[in-house]
Amino acid sequence: MRILHCTWAILAILAIPGDARAQGARPGEAGYTLFLRGTPIGRETITVSNAASGTTITSIGSAGAPFNSVFDLVEYRYGAAGSPQSFELNGTLGGANVELRTTFANGTASTQGSQGGQSISATHQVSASTVVLAPGIFSGFAALAQRLANAKGGDEFSAFLLPRVEVKATVVTVTSERIQIDTSLFPVRRYELSFADPAGELLVYLTASPEGQLVRVSVPSQWLDFVRNDVATVTARTDIHSNPGDVPVIIPAAGFNIGATITLPAAAIGADPAKSTVRYPAVVLIAGPDAVDRDAIAGGVPGLGQLAGALADAGIISVRYDRRGSGQSGGRAESALLADYAEDARTVARWLTSRKDVDSRRVAALGHEVGGWFALQAARDDRIRAVVLLGVPASAGAEFALEQQRLQLDRMNTPAADRDARIALQRQIHEAVLSGRGWDSIAVELRRQADTPWFGSFLRFDPARAVADVDPPLLIVHGELDREVPVAHATRLADAARQGDSDLVSLVVVPGVNHLLQPATTGEVAEYQALTGKGVSPSVVSAVVTWLQTTLPERGK
């Protein structure tokens, strides 16, 4: 739900190579699938052996582009106290043979080996308890999953990124969740991790069982997901937040299904919707493209999940759903345009209006962040009678990506010369994406990330123009302390809307609320992990609910 770390739109900042049981043949063994933009590109089988003398983790696997790797053996050894002892790798990378061995002693990591016939020899000073991670190989996260079993927000640790550098990492948040496979549920913990690489900050989400067994690793900025096979099935989803009226549903779309949750008011729970004599207003809840799933959790807050519960308390039905190509939703994210995500929202709205317990003349779309852009495009469907925008950017995509990059570089205290160079590179990438020319001087890996249908449609979209074309009543809600999408964006959207087609435009700036829609003191990103409320502000909820009840009154009122 958060635009912090939205490096799917900021490519020049960072360019690092990127109780259910696991389905293993032996105890401690589990199979995993690597996804890039929702498409499977690789597999690893990981075996974890714990003994009194320490832990040994081994894996074999392979991955297609951009890694182009085959690993015949990967082995990590840790001592009883958790200190690394050795790392060994044998395989091929880009068609070239790779052999590496790293030993750890007296605070020094010594690496010897060869790649493509060229010798490798390096030494680095590392901390005694560093976690060993190899680029493009995810089995190293199995040791980190065990290490994090008792971690809490704010904890720090060191990670040695073979074979080049040790970095500091921070546990930003720890969230207890449940994963649903068919009708079975099992508990997991989800760790939001920030790696302070010299090239910038990298955000990683790691999910593990309470005992420390690795379940999932997600790198949003790289569109990478490494998922245990039983959790990678279409019948699995993370049950982050539950409301009393939540009911899982599958909504047919064009060529695939959308996995969703409908949340019913208390009076409708257990009732047959086909026989309902009461028709409720309804809202389609739309997350942004980087949301983890339908609940749009960020900073430990399942924003859309909580909003769904508050709407149900007010007698309003809502539906929140997994974006295409993720969670329980089908479709292919790698080929999706911004317009396709808007069409998914329209599909959900059409499905809602077909229900007997929904008043088809009282259906609204609510979007947060770039999800608000989807809502604006979806509002072209006359089934949508009202639109709510929460923390939505007003700048066109190309401009907004640069704004976000500047904010992130400022947080990193990047020297002026380096800052200017990265912004210039970002502009160059934008020009290449939009024109199709100028890629020759841009790194291949950056082109692979940027030259996509989604990013092109993102850069071209102009929300100020789109909001002027919206016919239904419009509510814009923004946190006064939003430091990621500053409140000036809300004013610009409102001004554009008032010059457009809508006859009713309302702007509410909520004091003391940040970008996560939480009560805050400064609103700065660094404050997120220290917030204790962990909930959407009641003032935000009240603004939305009151406006919907006024704008979508019962028939005859």
Going residue by residue through the chain (557 aa), what tens digit of pLDDT does each one get?
A: 433 333 333 343 333 233 333 343 456 899 999 988 778 899 999 999 999 999 999 999 998 888 888 999 999 999 998 999 999 999 888 778 889 999 999 999 999 999 888 888 989 999 999 999 988 899 999 999 999 999 999 999 999 988 778 899 999 989 888 887 754 678 899 999 998 866 667 889 999 999 999 999 998 878 888 999 988 776 666 655 788 999 888 999 988 999 899 999 999 998 898 888 899 999 999 998 877 778 888 777 889 999 999 999 999 999 999 888 887 788 888 789 999 999 999 999 999 999 999 999 999 999 999 999 999 999 999 999 999 999 999 999 999 999 999 988 888 788 899 889 999 999 999 999 999 999 999 988 889 889 999 999 999 999 999 999 999 999 999 999 999 999 999 999 999 999 987 789 999 999 999 999 999 999 988 888 778 777 899 999 999 999 999 999 876 54
pLDDT at 143: 95
Domain spans in the chain, listed from the N-terminal domain onward: 29-237, 240-396+461-551, 397-456
Do residues 4 and 201 lie in contact, with contact meaning Cβ atoms separated by under 8 Å?
Answer: no
What's the pLDDT score for residue 2? 39
Q: Say what the alpha-carbon torsion angle 211, 135, 108, 98 is, to the nearest 10 degrees.
A: 120
Assess if CATH 3.40.50.1820 describes domain 240-396+461-551.
yes
Question: Whole-angstrom Cα distance, residue 443 to residue 519?
Answer: 42
Q: Nearest-CA neighbor of 207 among 230, 221, 222, 227?
A: 227
| Residue-level pLDDT at 15 | 30
Among 91, 173, 87, which Cα is nearest to 130's?
87
CA distance 303 to 296: 6
Question: pTM score > 0.75 for this model?
Answer: no
Rounded distance, CA 472 to CA 389, Å? 13
- Residues 6 or more apart whose CB falls under 8 angstroms from that of 148 comprise 171, 174, 189, 191, 206, 208, 212
pLDDT, residue 235, reads 61
Whole-number pLDDT of residue 531: 80
Contact 202, 14 (CB under 8 A): yes
8 Å CB contact between 251 and 327: no
Taking only Cα atoms into account, the Rg of the chain, rounded to an integer number of angstroms, comes to 24
Alpha-carbon gap, residue 317 to 301, rounded angstroms: 21
What does the pLDDT read at residue 528? 82
**Look-up: residue for tokens 């500091």?**
168
**What is the DSSP pairing of strand 280-286 with strand 358-368?**
parallel
Instruction: Report the C-alpha gap between 282 and 191 in whole angstroms.
Output: 33
**What DSSP character marks residue 51?**
E
User: In Å, what is the CA distance from 378 to each residue of 110, 360, 370, 426?
Assistant: 56, 16, 13, 29
Q: Which of 440, 251, 286 is closest to 363 using CA atoms?
A: 286
Residues 328/293, Cβ–Cβ less than 8 Å: no
pLDDT at 197: 66
Query: Do 14 and 199 form a contact (C-beta atoms < 8 A)?
Result: yes
C-alpha atoms less than 13 angstroms from C-alpha of 501 in its C-beta half-sphere: 12
pLDDT for 95 equals 76
